[in-house]
Amino acid sequence: MRKILISLLTLFLITFYTQAYTSPENKAVFQLGNDKFTLNNQEQSMDTIPIVKSSRVFVPIRYIAYACGIDDKDILWDMSTQTVTLNSNNKRLSAKVGSKQLVNNGHVVDMDVAPVMINDRVFLPARWIAEAYNYKIEWDQASKSILIYPRGNIKPHPPEQPAVLLVNKTHRLPDDYHPDPLDNYNGYQVSKSMNYPLQALFTAADEQSINLGINSGYRDVESQQQIFNERVSQLGLQEAKSAAALPGYSEHQTGLAVDLEGDSNAYSWLKANCWSYGFILRYPKGGEEITGYSYEPWHFRYVGIPIASFMHANNIQTLEEFIDTYISD
């Protein structure tokens, strides 16, 4: 009987410790400003984006949990205390918004920053969650990405392209730049990624009896040079530089920018509602010194709903300000 009890106890302890210390298996990559992340080489979508805050990279806790193999059922949110609790492999982590204390199985761990609530999501530097589950975490400066992977394992590959493409007077497109696949919208070429959002924007405007048109989409180098030359002949060189971009410095060459037609009512509606469809007014009134261009109520840039809604919720007027504040580390 004693041997049986010892055997059962041994089996229980082996099972317990195997469950408690299951080796990490996942590999994940989060990139600043990117609403997509990779988990075991599969692209996943988020409803928000990783950002820089207080010189640290903050990632939504829910998606860090996914990267560590934690399912939705084991991610708990207590609204009354604003506390996120993760349960997995006999480990219980609790983090409270505004508190620098992470509770790990009842033991308090002091963090250098506190979780923050942004747009109804709780953010925290990924290292505190990942390391608690025995993952290694690494920063890739070139791609501005966080890599999460099992210790002693080959790290995942970071993205090759920036999450947010900034094109302005000081940020030139690479000489070998080629836009993403293009599609046709009402006779104009636009990036395939924004064709459906553009259709949704036009449909919503029509439902509100807002008349919209489009008069420019993707432009190649030759077309952009022609437009710039026309502005020079009309306005002179100095004024032309505030009204049009030189080839290589134009968002239209990305296929992600459109010039829309409408009356003052249409432009007011677009300014108030474009973010819901992933667009931003690229050259707003009052932002001339930041963007380098005169106010253009017709020029809209597609950045995707997560970024557009983030900018809207945080009253960020220009793409330059967004990148400088939340993407540049």
Query: For residues 159 and 237, what is the distance between their CA atoms, to the nearest angstrom?
Result: 39
From 131, 288, 296, 321, active-site residue: 296
Please indicate whether residue 296 is annotated as part of the active site: yes
> Hey, what amino acid is at 19?
Q
Rounded to a whole number of angstroms, the CA Rg of the chain reads: 25
Query: For residues 275 and 242, what is the distance between their CA atoms, to the nearest angstrom?
Result: 25
* CA atoms within 13 A of residue 279's CA, in its CB half-sphere: 29
Residue 25, helix vs strand vs coil: coil
Q: Which of 77, 73, 43 has its CA nearest to residue 61?
A: 77
Tell me the longest C-alpha to C-alpha distance in the chain: 101
Let me know: does 119 contact 53? Beta carbons within 8 Å: no
**Helix ranges (DSSP H) in the chain:** 2-20, 61-67, 126-132, 192-207, 221-235, 237-243, 264-273, 288-291, 305-313, 319-322
**CA distances from residue 111 to 59, 83, 154 in whole angstroms, order as listed:** 15, 15, 28
Query: For residues 121 and 53, what is the distance between their CA atoms, to the nearest angstrom?
Result: 14
Catalytic annotation, residues: 296
